[in-house]
Amino acid sequence: MHAEKKVKIYSTPTCFYCIKAKEFFAKHKIKYEEVNVASNMKEREEMVKKSHQLGVPVIEVGHEIIVGFDRVALEHALGIKE
Amino acid sequence: MYDLIIVGGGPAGVSAGIYAARKKLKFLLVTESFGGQSAVASEIQNWVGVKSISGFELAKKMEDHLKVQDGVEIEEGSMADKAEKIKGGFKLVLKNGKEFETRAILAASGGRRRRLGAPGEKEFENKGVAYCSTCDAPLFAKKTVAVVGGGNAALGAVGDLLKYAAKVYLIIRGEQIKGDPVLFEEIKKDARVEILMNSEITEIFGQDLVGGLKYLDKKENKKGELKLEGIFVEIGSVPNSEFLGNLAKKNEYNEVVVDHKTQRTSCPGIWAAGDVTDLPFRQNMISAGDAIKAVLDIASSR
């Protein structure tokens, strides 16, 4: 088992890669918090501040920021071995 | 050793997989993910038998349809890195390091987004320069944006953005729309859309995020500048043909050259179908049909 790191995904409702990322979390039984940056302006600002960019998804694992659905980076950050 | 390895999980790869299963070939399908490039489309209206469906839903349906076939083996989550000739066939190496041996390969590896190549594009990628309108359109609510391109993907992106943006420029390099007139007429009706034909982006500028772009109207030979916050690039694809190396002949655009009756490449044992090939039209159903031709030819030439 990997150490429990807090996982948060900044997403928009129609974003394909956000759905793929959430499928990935489900597959590996990873708990996560999701915020919709299409409607939540405060979270959107926080996302831009943390990731210095405007694309979704942005995934926060512990203190690590991952832009996009980067399977390899996620596996690494979460300590998952396929 | 497999009879066949299908590289790709878009409409070409999945159609090939379904047919290969029905022909009882011992095959493996290798893909990063399912659905191909239009998986990110908000709406697909030209998949026959389905009036309207999101790219994501169609991708799911394709995946499900493939997975209910008997004898399907799938290696998901990685892409092909390299194909090499070995005795009696080929060795395929994936980006994750795994290796497989096969008598035949069907390259259905599709394409990936073409970049503009304008100064500032790379610097401002995801800082206003975007490649997925269904993903990022909501982040440009009440803002001014531009869509670059004249095909269906560009027209679709304008539609996605009109749900949120205050104004949408459509910048087209040529003097004609390549996409479907039904889509073009729909977006033209909206007063927030402004169309710039014969125009090429020469620079993208800004501070931390995109602030605007400069363009050249080639017909009038006039330079212009637009203040805006988002630029969505939808100018087609480049083929994912690198993994074949020099095994099969490619054209000047790196597209794999095929015989369009059988989808055979210049290399015996390698077939190709869909957007990775030198086909004139990039369409889901054409890719699906071409891949089926390939599998039928593979099955009958065993």
- What part of A 20-79 touches B (C-beta under 8 Å)? 20, 37-39, 44, 52-57, 67, 71
Look up the ipTM and state it. Answer: 0.78
Within 8 A of B39 by CB-CB distance, chain A residues are: 16
CATH superfamily to which B2-113+237-300 belongs: FAD/NAD(P)-binding domain (3.50.50.60)
Is the model's pLDDT at B169 over the cut of 70?
yes
Taking an 8 Å cut-off on Cβ atoms, the answer to whether A14 and B139 are in contact is: no
From chain B, the residues in CB contact with A39 under 8 A are: 138
pLDDT 10s digits, B179-214: 999 999 999 999 999 999 999 999 999 999 999 999
Q: In this structure, what token pair is assigned to residue B135?
A: 């993903």
Chain B window 243-262: which residues touch A at a Cβ cutoff of 8 Å? none
Locate the domains of chain B by residue range: 2-113+237-300, 129-233
Hey, are the CB atoms on A19 and B141 less than 8 Å from each other? no
Query: What is the dihedral sign for C-alpha B43, B34, B130, B196?
Result: negative
Q: Residue A18: what pLDDT?
A: 94
- Where do the domains of chain A lie? 21-78
Over chain B, what is the mean pLDDT?
Answer: 96
Rounded CA separation B151/B236 (Å): 8
As a whole number of angstroms, the distance between CA B114 and CA B236 comes to 6
- Percentage of chain A with pLDDT > 70? 95
Q: What is the CA radius of gyration of chain B?
A: 21
Look at B127 and A54 and tell me if their CB atoms are within 8 Å.
yes
**Identical topology for domains B2-113+237-300 and B129-233:** yes
Give the pLDDT mean for A2-7: 76
* Tokens, residue B167: 């104004």
Nearest to A53 among B127, B132, B230 (CB): B127
Chain A environment of B128 (Cβ under 8 Å): 54
Question: What pLDDT does A14 receive?
Answer: 85
Query: pLDDT confidence of A82, banded at 50, 70, 90?
Result: low
Which of A52, A54, A82 is facing B136, going by the closest CB pair? A54
Set of chain A residues whose Cβ sits within 8 Å of the Cβ of B62: none
CATH number of the B129-233 domain: 3.50.50.60
pLDDT tens-digit readout, B29-41: 999 999 999 998 8
Q: Exposure of B81 by Cβ count < 10 A (0-12 exposed, 13-18 middle, 19+ buried)? A: middle
- SS3 string, chain A, reads CCCCCCEEEEECCCCHHHHHHHHHHHHCCCCCEEEECCCCHHHHHHHHHHHCCCCCCEEEECCEEEECCCHHHHHHHHCCCC
**Alpha-carbon Rg of chain A, whole angstroms?**
12
- pLDDT tier at A81 (50, 70, 90 boundaries)? confident
| pLDDT of res. A80 | 86
- pTM across the whole model: 0.85
Average pLDDT over residues A29-58: 94
* Residue A2 scores a pLDDT above 80: no
Which chain A residues are Cβ-neighbours of B127 within 8 angstroms? 52-54
Please give the Cα distance from A53 to A51 (Å, whole number). 5
**Cβ B139–A82 below 8 Å, yes or no?**
no
User: Six-digit token pair at B257?
Assistant: 């050259």
